Structure 1
Amino acid sequence: MRGLLIPLTLAQFLCSFAGSNMTVMISDISVDLNTTVHGVQVTITVFLLVMAALMIPGGVLSDRFGRKRCFTAGLALYGVGAVLSALAPSLGILLLGNSILEGIGTALLIPPVYILTTLLCTETAARVRAFGAIMAAAGLGAAAGPLLGGAITTALSWRASFAFQAVVVVLILVSSRRIRDPLPPDPARRVDLRGVLLSASGLVLIVAGILAAATNLLVTLGLVLFGALLLAGFAAAARADERAGREPLLSLALFRNRVSDLGLLTQNLQWLLLMGVSFVVAAYLQVEHGYSAIGTGVVFTAATAGLLVSSLAAGRLVRRHRRRTLVLAGFALTAAGIAMLLLLPGARTVSASAFVPGLGLVGLGLGAMLTPSVDLVQSAFDERWQGEISGLSRCVSNLGSALGTAVAGTVLVLNPGGRGYAAAMVLLGLLAVAGMAAAALLPRNPVAPAR
């Protein structure tokens, strides 16, 4: 089983790494491709948004064509995007390779990671350990992305970071040859194209509206409202399909499970906080204090260490404590870490060591709750629902990542300097408190999986 989990874990690490490593390349990419900080922010956000928008159809396609087949196809597409990004002569080509191709590839390969893990690990203890390893890889990839990306950028160039990703793709493809799909594909599984268009368009417009706030608040309002209307149309269409006996893209029954609903909300906030804090700190250090890529990456070592320690201990923690308790404690630690980071702006020079306590607490908090949140959501449904709930879970998490960079980055653009840093950190702190409130509503003893 361990040999089968290695490529799945490595795939999750790679996709999380891709979402965060560019935060330390802001200055280098801006200069090399003659663009701005906002241009790089858009590239990062679009990558995360494409993943979020297509993760639900990715789960459906996994059931229709087979988990292993979609996993392999997603990796191949991701590898092409990584190579194109490494050779990009302009921001537009980088957007195509990184944001579009890598984003689509990730949406194809990530749902199979979680579906295969759920199906291959039938015992609760084994499943918790497996999810612990995968979520540790997810968190570690996101937290270590700035350090590893900074080291590669400083030693070689930002382009080498994408070449590194292409090499990792090849390693995963080779090591995943022994994985066998435990369930046959379901060719009769309907792909709701109308649902795909409505849900993807709605999510894209909402995040695009947030990004537009840096230039035009009226445009922001229009895009967000239009996006919300499209999502409402998606829900109405899904309800109509169910009443007519047709299979919608996403069954609305998934939203009638209180444990899953609250678990999804906490997942969204966790990734929003992780990517939001990463982007704010990285942009602040590089733009306001002239830190290099490797210097910025070193600052994030504390978050990486904290997240790694708590993620690796997740299996033991879940056996000893209620998942609700772990999620609640994780948000409390994260809020405390953000409060410490909030005290730093204003000085003319900022020491890297000043960020250690705050980032360390953020890493510990996020690592402690990533696994129990995922386990709560996946375990709330039986095998019949795993394709849909896996896609929805990853969609919600990646939407959180996209919102984290969009919201925090927009606040920074609107308020340059220490004021922007402080404003973004205050907002993130309030969202951490909201996460605590959501976790407090989780039941102490979740009921059996829905069927």
Structure 2
Amino acid sequence: MADHTVPPGPDSGGPRHVLLPLALAQFICSFAGSNMNVMINDISEDLDTTVQGVQTAITIFLLVMAALMIPGGKLTERYGRKRCFRMGLAVYGVGALLSAFAPGLGLLIVGNSILEGIGTALLIPPVYILATLLFTEMTSRAKAFGAIMAMGGIGAAAGPLIGGLITTAISWRAAFVFQALIVAYILVLSRRVPDPLPADPAAPFDVRGAVLSAVGLIVLVMGILAVDDNGWLAAGLLAAGALILLWFFRSARAMEAAGKEPLLSADLFRNRTSNLGLITQHVQWLVLMGTSFVVAAYLQVVRGYNAIETGVIFTAATVGLLASSLAAERFAKRRAQRTLIMGGFVLTLGGIVLLLVMAGGAEDAWTSTPGLFFVGVGLGVMLTPSVNIVQSSFPEDEQGEISGLSRSVSNLGSSVGTAVAGTILVADPAHAYAAAMITLAALGLIGLGAATLLPGGTAPNVATTRAAGAG
């Protein structure tokens, strides 16, 4: 692994100019993952497809991100962080425009699910690597992660509202044009983003590992999607996905034993603090995207609400997330990161309970707003500390790998959340709402359990967390 150091001095350019494009990039990628939830009826009618077809497109987008995020993080060493960031933006923009003019579901999947997914996998790892390398002091780094994660959370929570407004006022196609315009603006801003480390064209790239990790994750989520149609096929796909991922990890160990550099070092999984942080990240995004899909689909398919009405109801989650994100720095000074993550899960689970008790079967859809508000508050409280715990557990020369792994785990959570909740819901939207929400709550309890095992303290330290992981 390359042993680079960041050039010293505050004038390396970054902190004053990089935060806005990095935060906007996270915003638009998160927005893309949730805004289609309020377009379910419009897209299915316009493209002559079904709710399940739209769910498949959403899930594939999230899955492509998850499957390629680890290779995307690794490519930053070979081609440079800034170059990968800008290349990802360009691919994403092309995909957004292609989606805007798609005549059918197939081309929508190519543009939105494939190209936007590939673009996101290329541009998101550099966001977190650059933030880690350019904001070297722990407080400033926490603020940077806070701003980036807040924008990501707001993008996911506000996606239904913004998407609903655009869809109702113009059409669902205009929402993809909106994404392309934001991406073009980020590309302009990114010209001033510095890359603190030189690219290393000779950096090794584990092609076999990239293929195995991507195929394993894809097959695993395909198994979840197949549960409703064919139980035996689903079981076979889940088993095959697990075996392929096991092959990937064994291949990585064999390469390290032979003195070669695998796609993902096994050392990354020997850090207990980071492992627990990754679990909390996975569950956070699983619950967020799963809840977003279930509530949005229920309101539109069962209650007959249009895109703007559904989006306005989701404003409650946006307000909650924004309020807690703005207070994140104050929370971080007063409470340990473990406490914040645990508290976030408790609030989120409380929100899901409210969605079950107040919204399930109620005639008035506005009964969903209290639950969505608490879900938003809870996620805003815990998103930043989870990322900070993971990223700060490793030194600079491992940021490419851990950033790719971290984002892959989070996006896999989004994909699994949409797949699991959607698979339950689309079978019988009128009666499966409660089952889908109970499933999400049960998975949320796993995240809470992992959070209770995190070490105390206000901020992780690389040396101590690595020592703890080794123990």
**Are 1:421 and 2:427 counterparts?**
no
**Are 1:123 and 2:142 counterparts?**
no
In 2: Cα distance, 1:156 partner to 1:415 partner: 31
Q: Residues 216, 172 of structure 1: CA spacing in aligned structure 2 closer, same or farther, 3 A cutoff?
A: same
User: 1:274 maps to which residue?
Assistant: 288
CA contact (8 A) 2:360 2:433 kept: no
User: 1:441 maps to which residue?
Assistant: 453
More moved, 430-439 vs 27-36? 430-439
User: 2:253 maps to which residue?
Assistant: 239
> Displacement, 1:414?
2.7
> Displacement, 1:430?
1.1
- For 2:411, the aligned partner's letter is N
- For 2:450, the aligned partner's letter is A
In 1: Cα distance, 2:319 partner to 2:16 partner: 23
In 1: Cα distance, 2:360 partner to 2:125 partner: 43
In 2: Cα distance, 1:141 partner to 1:346 partner: 26
Match of 2:277 among 243, 248, 263: 263
CA contact (8 A) 1:198 1:233 kept: yes
**Structure 1: 4+ residue segments shifted above 3 A:** 344-348, 445-451
User: 2:102 maps to which residue?
Assistant: 88
CA contact (8 A) 1:345 1:422 kept: no
> Displacement, 1:348?
6.3
Match of 2:406 among 384, 393, 397: 393
Write the mapping of 1:194-205 to structure 2, written as runs, cut at 5 A.
Answer: 194-205=208-219
In 2: Cα distance, 1:447 partner to 1:130 partner: 17
- For 2:444, the aligned partner's letter is A
In 2: Cα distance, 1:309 partner to 1:251 partner: 38
Write the mapping of 1:140-289 to structure 2, written as runs, cut at 5 A.
Answer: 140-289=154-303
**Are 1:341 and 2:363 counterparts?**
no
Per the alignment, in what secondary structure is the counterpart of residue 21 of structure 1? helix
In 1: Cα distance, 2:243 partner to 2:265 partner: 19
Match of 1:304 among 318, 332, 354: 318
In 1: Cα distance, 2:66 partner to 2:131 partner: 20
Per the alignment, in what secondary structure is the counterpart of residue 191 of structure 2? coil
> Displacement, 1:2?
3.8
- For 2:159, the aligned partner's letter is G
- For 1:424, the aligned partner's letter is A
In 2: Cα distance, 1:348 partner to 1:126 partner: 46
Per the alignment, in what secondary structure is the counterpart of residue 176 of structure 1? helix
- For 1:232, the aligned partner's letter is L
User: 2:84 maps to which residue?
Assistant: 70
> Displacement, 1:413?
2.0
User: 1:322 maps to which residue?
Assistant: 336
In 2: Cα distance, 1:122 partner to 1:58 partner: 23
CA contact (8 A) 1:199 1:231 kept: yes
CA contact (8 A) 2:317 2:375 kept: yes
> Displacement, 1:343?
1.4
**Are 1:402 and 2:415 counterparts?**
yes
CA contact (8 A) 2:149 2:384 kept: yes
Match of 2:389 among 376, 379, 382: 376
In 2: Cα distance, 1:210 partner to 1:178 partner: 42
Give the % identical residues: 64
In 2: Cα distance, 1:317 partner to 1:179 partner: 29
**Are 1:355 and 2:368 counterparts?**
yes
Number of aligned positions between the proteins: 449
In 1: Cα distance, 2:178 partner to 2:359 partner: 34
Per the alignment, in what secondary structure is the counterpart of residue 462 of structure 2? coil
In 1: Cα distance, 2:407 partner to 2:415 partner: 12
Per the alignment, in what secondary structure is the counterpart of residue 337 of structure 1? helix
In 2: Cα distance, 1:255 partner to 1:89 partner: 44
User: 2:424 maps to which residue?
Assistant: 411
**1:110-150, Cα deviation, whole Å (9 max, x unpaired):** 00000000000010110000000000000000000000000
> Displacement, 1:346?
5.3
> Displacement, 1:447?
4.9
**1:282-317, Cα deviation, whole Å (9 max, x unpaired):** 000000010000000011000000001111211221
> Displacement, 1:12?
0.5
User: 1:5 maps to which residue?
Assistant: 19
User: 1:61 maps to which residue?
Assistant: 75
> Displacement, 1:94?
0.1
User: 2:7 maps to which residue?
Assistant: none
CA contact (8 A) 2:348 2:374 kept: yes
CA contact (8 A) 2:301 2:429 kept: no
User: 1:110 maps to which residue?
Assistant: 124
> Displacement, 1:217?
0.9
- For 1:92, the aligned partner's letter is G
- For 1:49, the aligned partner's letter is L
- For 1:46, the aligned partner's letter is I
CA contact (8 A) 2:342 2:451 kept: yes
CA contact (8 A) 1:289 1:350 kept: no
- For 1:429, the aligned partner's letter is A
In 2: Cα distance, 1:319 partner to 1:344 partner: 35
User: 1:21 maps to which residue?
Assistant: 35
**1:207-257, Cα deviation, whole Å (9 max, x unpaired):** 011111121111100000000000000000000000000100000100000
- For 1:47, the aligned partner's letter is F
CA contact (8 A) 2:359 2:368 kept: no
Per the alignment, in what secondary structure is the counterpart of residue 344 of structure 2? helix
Per the alignment, in what secondary structure is the counterpart of residue 171 of structure 1? helix
User: 1:33 maps to which residue?
Assistant: 47
